Copies of this chain bind each other. A is one copy, B any other.
Amino acid sequence: MQAVIDYLKQNQARFVGELCDYIRFPSVSAQAQHRADLQACAEWVVNHCRQIGLEARVYPTPGHPIVVARTSSSVSNAPRRPRFVVYGHYDVQPPEPFDLWTSPPFEPRIEGRSLFGRGACDNKGQNLAHLKAVEAYLKTGTDLPCDLTFVIEGEEEVGSGSLAAFLREHQADLACEAVVISDTGMPSPKHPALTYALRGIAAFEILLHGPARDLHSGIFGGTVDNPAMALCQLLAKLRDKNGRVAVPGFYDDVQPLSAYERKEMARLPFKETEYRKLLGVPKLFGERGYTPIEQRSARPTFEINGLTSGYQGEGSKTIIPAWARAKITARLVPNQDPARIARLVQRHLKSLCPPTVKLEVQVTRGADPYLVSPTGPQAQAALRALKAAFGFDPVLLREGGSIPIVNDFKKCLRADSLMLGLALPDDNAHSPNEKFNLDCFAKGQLMSAFLWQELAAAKK
């Protein structure tokens, strides 16, 4: 391993140059005028993979191409070794608004230990770190204890529309022990992190129909229910004063936080006053009995995303609205099932709805929550690799949002994902002046190098 570590150390300057080359492609997947840039970027990745000793090719899709690169042993007749997929994406967010960038987004600029450019941390720097680790193995002739397949797609920023079909089609080739993804974050350079859980989602629209049309509130007011008031009274009953979702059965399948998880979460840096100021709220509010970190990542929620009824314009209009609508999303945690939650919410709304209005509930979408046990052998292997590379005790993170591709990997490949993010909170992912910390880049390569040792030795 010392050869690998030395190789990485000695080649940092060249690696940074290569990352700059990678960033120069304006591979903006959301913008049709960049179609050729995405193709060119994919080809650059393929060539780069070949140069470092991988077998690589570009797979066209109905959208932007997917690059697949493998360590050659994985296609030979060598005895079966542990196999892992490394996922990344070469497409980037749109750079707009240009005027907020200090330097042009596709002309990488180094300042101190920061490399500025669109895609620097999301995700070019992070997937290149993994490629550099494998390069170090291959170029130093060090035995890589597992077979690796890199899947680097070009549609992550627009919903990964082609990925699931690609995974299903190449299911056998991509069979693996686990998927490794560096596309999340770490709280600080001293807090390397494993993200081991994501929340799911269940989305609804609730529509209450009242009178056949908006009614004059002077002529008819007092004799008919007001659907906006009925909706408020209905929704008001769905969250109690302790911040609990008041739908019978809602918490039935929630896997409680273990003492280990709560202890690990308590280690995360968090300053309530700063957080409150960041959000601009007069006071925080959440489910009683949980810390804000637990509330926003490990507990389910029921949010009204939008309310619409009656008159929205200037001044007043004296009507009883014909209807009132709420858009709702519930964030779900393991092992809540979006379909079951949708049924529970619908049933409860039905039981609460007064006979003076007509209820219509539309279930618009759902996504499963995700969890890989943080005490399992793969997670623990990842934590050891993080510690070895960064020199600090790693932290365990749950992400409050959803990352749909993780569910795709679970469904199509039946493999867990280890999320080992290298982005810092101030890296401006999706914002102007995106950057990547070059220490995170270097330590990410080291982490990847250690990871294959640790993972190959771990049980699935």
On A, residues with C-beta under 8 Å from B are 199, 201, 203, 205, 210-213, 215-226, 228-229, 231-233, 235-237, 239, 243, 275, 279-287, 292, 295-297, 299, 301, 303-312, 315-321, 324, 326-327, 329, 331, 354-358, 364-365, 399-402
Contacts and interface: CB of A to CB of B under 8 A. Distances in A.
B304 A222 contact: no
Among A220, A221, A309, the one with the most B-chain Cβ atoms within 10 Å of its Cβ is A221
Contact of A224 (B216, B222, B284, B319): B284
Given A212-B279, A306-B311, A292 B223 contact: yes
Contacts of A283: 225, 355-356
A357 to B, nearest CB: 7
A211 B211 CA distance: 34
A290 B357 CA distance: 20
Among A218, A283, A299, A312, the one with the most B-chain Cβ atoms within 10 Å of its Cβ is A218
A224 B284 CA distance: 5
Contacts of A222: 243, 286-287, 292, 295-297, 299, 301, 331, 400
A222 to B, nearest CB: 4
A272 to B, nearest CB: 10
Nearest to A326: B228
B221 A400 contact: yes
A297 B223 CA distance: 10
A61 to B, nearest CB: 24
A305 B316 contact: yes
A299 to B, nearest CB: 5
Contact of A279 (B224, B275, B296, B329): B224
A434 to B, nearest CB: 17
